[in-house]
Amino acid sequence: MNLKIACIQYDILFGKPQENFKIVSHEIEQTMKHTKPDIIVLPELWTTGYDLTRLDEIADEDGVETKAFIQKLAKQHSVNIVAGSIAKKTGQHITNTMFVFNRNGEVISEYSKLHLFKLMDEHLYLKSGEEKGDFKIENVPAAGVICYDIRFPEWIRAHTTSGAEVLFVVAEWPLPRLEHWRTLLLSRAIENQCYVVACNCVGSNPDNEFAGHSMIIDPWGNIIAEAGTESTTVVADINLSKVQDVRKQIPIFQDRRPTFYQ
């Protein structure tokens, strides 16, 4: 089975949800016009950026506005959308939450970032999630994680031992740690023998410059497509049969000895 994936890498406008909605609507329209992917991926916190101090004001109440917006686009273009993540307000808490939509505009997954990044003060403004990011998309076992999560290989492995063949990573990863981004993504693909689809943002906010370099990596660790530091859309075809081919060639999942890993 082949799937065409498109990662929309762009400069998120800091603290301006309505302007970001307009940008994403335009970018999805252009992407569907020119490449017609099966799955579109957006970056982390694409509605607000890291305007953490104002999240109580600009976070999306229960994700209602974002879900309606993405649902409409998914149905209109008949495309699956891994809708990055947003600041979702639920009662007194705000989470960094990923929604995944199928071609009919239905939410098929909701995952809130498990590992909060204290260096960017996430723990002061956000509540950690408590659930895994597993889902099926086009009947393919997959999982979604958010930025800092990729530094925790045991968290990624928890999804691939459950069958995930594609790992979707959404991020606002800073430029000074670009090589960490590239190395970690390659490592997660190789050690889990899965496709890694990683969508980052570009540009800057008052405190950070972002790395871009959205990537699509195959289960052997080959980079199929990679962006630079400009706003662009990264597109690649993935062949899901390659996952099982690689897993048969080097059967790491059969050779695991988890009783010794504690």
Q: Which residues are catalytic?
A: 44, 113, 147
Cα–Cα distance, 31 to 260 (Å, whole number) = 47
Q: Position of tokens 């906010």?
A: 205
Question: 64 vs 68, 87, 125, 229, CA distance in Å?
Answer: 6, 11, 20, 31
Helix, strand or coil, per DSSP, at residue 171: coil
How many helical (H) and strand (E) elements, i.e. helices and strands, does the chain have? 8, 14
Angle, CA of 185, 8 and 189, to the nearest 5°: 15
137 burial (CB, 10 Å; 0-12 / 13-18 / 19+) is: buried
Centre a 10 Å sphere on the Cβ of residue 139 and count the other Cβ atoms it contains.
7
